[in-house]
Amino acid sequence: MNMQQAEETTLREYSFLMYAHALKQVDKEFEINLLAWQVEQAGATKKVGKDIKPYYKTFKDFFDYEKRVKEVTNIQKEANAKQSKLNELILRANS
């Protein structure tokens, strides 16, 4: 994005760009945590009674991708709601 495009970006467009960036970050977290999980699974155990079992049964126990996407989506929804309220207040003030 060049300077002119940045200057012409609306708050709504910027909000969507930030949302997309946050979701990309979740994807990066997923990849990093998947690798960490695979490494951890190679040796992680816990003692349950007399048995030794893997600490995490599934990758989702280690990193819940859907939960993280929902968290980012909820943050975005809250930001959109606040922006809508702000826009409404600006319109009322200008009336």
pLDDT: is 63 or 25 the higher one? 25
User: 77 - beta bridge partners?
Assistant: none
* pLDDT for residue 31 is more than 90: yes
pLDDT band at 71 (very low <50, low <70, confident <90, very high): very high
Q: What local confidence, expressed as pLDDT, does residue 30 receive?
A: 92
Over the stretch 38-66, which tens digit does the pLDDT of each residue have? 887 767 777 888 888 877 788 888 889 99
In three state form, how does the secondary structure of 19-72 look?
HHHHHHHHHHHHHHHHHHHHHHHCCCEEEECCEEEECCCCHHHHCCHHHHHHHH
Least confident of 1-10, 12-21, 71-80: 1-10
Rounded to whole angstroms, the Cα distance separating 32 from 38 reads 10
Tell whether the torsion through CA atoms of 9, 10, 14 and 17 is positive or negative: negative
Report the SS3 class of residue 84.
helix
